[in-house]
Structure 1
Amino acid sequence: MKRSLENIENQFEMFQILNEKGEIVNEDAMPDLSDDDLKEIMRRMVYTRILDQRSIALNRQGRLGFYAPTAGQEASQLGSHYALEKEDFILPGYRDVPQLIWHGLPLYQAFLFSRGHFHGNQMPEGVNAVSPQIIIGAQITQAAGVGIGMKKRGKDAIAITYTGDGGASQGDFYEGINFAGAFNAQAVFVVQNNRYAISVPVEKQSAAKTIAQKAVAAGIEGIQVDGMDVLAVYAATKDARERAINGEGPTLIETMTYRYGPHTMAGDDPTRYRTEETDNEWEAKDPIVRFRTFLENKGLWSEEEENEVIEQAKEEVKAAIKKADEQPKQKVTELMDIMYEELPASLQEQREEYEAKESK
Structure 2
Amino acid sequence: MSFAGPLRRSLIPRTSRTIASRYPCPKRRCFATATSATSEAPREPEGTKEVPMTVGDGGAGTIRPVRQRHGSDRLVFPGAVNSKFTNRLVFRQQDPSKAIDTYRVMDTEGQIIDETHGIDFDNMKEQTLKMYSSMVTVSIMDQIMYDSQRQGRISFYIVNAGEEGIAVGSAAALGEHDTIYAQYREAGVLMYRGYTLDEFMAQCFSNCKDHGKGRNMPIHYSSKKLNFHPISSTLATQLPHASGAGYALKMERTPACAVTYFGEGAASEGDFHAALNIAATRGCPTLFVCRNNGYAISTPTLEQYKGDGIASRGVGYGIDTIRVDGNDTWAVYKVTKEARELAISQQKPVLIEAMSYRVSHHSTSDDSFAYRARVEVEDWKRRDNPITRLRKFMELRNWWDQEKDTQLRQQLRKDVLKAFNNAEREKKPAISKLWEDTYDKPTKDQQSQMQEMKDILERYGEEYDLEGYEGGKNGVVPKR
> With structure 2 as the length reference, what TM-score do the two structures score?
0.70
Q: Which residue of 1 aligns with 2:198?
A: 108
Structure 2 counterpart of 1:131: 230
Deviation, 1:126, is 2.7
Question: Compared with structure 1, are the counterparts of its residues 205 and 37 closer, same or farther at alpha carbon in structure 2 (3 Å cutoff)?
Answer: same
Instruction: Flag structure 1 segments of 5+ consecutive residues without an equivalent.
Output: none
Report what 1:249 is aligned to.
Answer: 348
Structure 1 pair 153–6 and aligned structure 2 pair: CA distance change class (3 A): same
Q: Matches of 2:451 and 2:330 in 1, distance apart? A: 56
Provide, for residues 52-104 of structure 1, a one-character-per-residue CA deviation record: whole Å limited to 9, x for no partner: 11221222232323211111111111111111121111111122223123223
Quote how far apart the aligned CAs of 1:113 are: 2.5
Question: Is 1:15 matched with 2:103?
Answer: yes
Deviation at 1:347, TM superposition (A): 3.3
Q: Secondary structure at the match of 2:437?
A: helix
Q: Is the 8 A contact 2:283 2:349 kept in 1?
A: yes
Q: 1:281 is matched by which residue type in structure 2?
A: D
Query: Aligned residue for 2:263?
Result: 164
Query: What is the alpha-carbon distance in structure 1 between the residues aligned to residue 350 and residue 98 of structure 2?
Result: 18
Distance 1:172 1:337 in 2: 29
| Partner residue in 2 for 1:264 | 363
Residue number among 129, 153, 156 corresponding to 1:66 in the alignment: 156
Aligned match of 2:212 in 107, 121, 126? 121
Q: Indicate how the Cα distance of structure 1 residues 97 and 292 shifts in structure 2: closer, same or farther if over 3 A, else same.
A: closer
Q: Provide the secondary structure at the position in 1 that maps to 2:314.
A: helix
Identity of aligned residues (%): 31
Find the partner of 1:278 among 363, 370, 376.
376
Paired residue for 1:44, among 111, 123, 134? 134
Q: Which moved more, 1:165-174 or 1:56-65?
A: 56-65
Is it true that 1:75 corresponds to 2:165 in the alignment? yes
Distance 1:129 1:141 in 2: 15
CA drift at 1:144: 0.7
Contact kept? 2:264, 2:292, Cα under 8 Å: yes
Q: How does 1:225-236 map to 2 (within 5 A)?
A: 225-236=324-335
With 340-349 and 159-168 compared, the bigger mean Cα shift is at: 340-349
- In structure 2, what is the Cα distance between the partners aligned to 1:115 and 1:291? 31
CA contact under 8 A between 1:97 and 1:132: conserved in structure 2? no
Aligned partners of 1:134 and 1:191: how far apart in 2? Answer: 17
> Alpha carbons of 1:341 and 1:331: their partners in 2 closer, same or farther (altered >3 Å)?
same
Q: Tell me how far apart the structure 1 counterparts of residues 244 and 307 of structure 2 sit (CA, whole Å).
A: 27
Q: Distance between the aligned counterparts of 2:442 and 2:242, measured in 1?
A: 29
Where does the alignment leave 5 or more consecutive residues of structure 2 unmatched? 1-89, 214-221, 458-472, 476-480
CA distance in 1, matches of 2:419, 2:191: 12
Deviation (angstroms), 1:326: 4.0
Relative distance call for 1:63 and 1:98 in structure 2 (3 A) is farther
245-254 or 169-178: bigger deviation: 245-254
Alignment RMSD? 2.2
| Worse-matched range after superposition: 306-315 or 161-170 | 306-315
| Corresponding residue number in structure 1 for 2:282 | 183
Moved more, 128-137 or 326-335: 326-335
Cα deviations by residue, 1:318-348 (Å, 9 ceiling, x for unpaired) = 2222332343312342120222223333333
Higher relative contact order (CA 8 A, sep 6+): 1
Aligned positions, number: 358
**Equivalent pair of 1:332/1:354 in contact (CA under 8 Å):** no
Deviation of the 1:353 alpha carbon? 2.1
Provide the rounded CA distance (Å) in 2 between the counterparts of 1:60 and 1:146. 38
1:141-187 deviation per Cα after TM superposition (whole angstroms, max 9, x unaligned) = 11111111111112121111111111111111111111111111111
- Equivalence map 1:174-323=2 (5 Å): 174-266=273-365, 268-283=366-381, 284-323=383-422
Task: Give me the whole-angstrom Cα distance separating, in 2, the residues matched to 1:312 and 1:184.
Answer: 46
Checking the alignment, whether the CA contact within 8 Å between 2:235 and 2:269 is kept in structure 1 is yes
Give the CA deviation at 1:124. 5.2
* Residue 117 of structure 1: how far off its partner (Å): 5.0
What one-letter code is carried by the residue in structure 2 that aligns with 1:72? G
Amino acid at match of 1:27: E
Report if aligned partners of 1:65, 1:116 keep a CA contact under 8 Å in 2. Answer: no
Structure showing the higher helix proportion among its residues: 1
Cα deviation, residue 248, structure 1:
4.3
Judge conservation of contact 1:90–1:100 (CA < 8 Å) in 2: no
Matched to 1:6, the amino acid is D
Q: Which entry has the higher C-alpha Rg, 1 or 2?
A: 2
What is the match of residue 359 of structure 1?
474
Instruction: Give the SS at the match of 2:323.
Output: strand
Q: Report which stretch shifted further, 350-359 or 115-124.
A: 115-124
174, 191, 207: which is aligned to 1:84? 174
Q: Distance in 2 between matches of 1:35 and 1:252?
A: 29
Letter of the 1:347 counterpart:
Q
Task: Report the alpha carbon displacement of residue 125 of structure 1 after superposing the two structures with TM.
Answer: 5.5
Query: Do the aligned partners of 2:103 and 2:331 also contact (CA within 8 Å) in 1?
Result: yes
TM-score norm. by structure 1 comes to 0.92
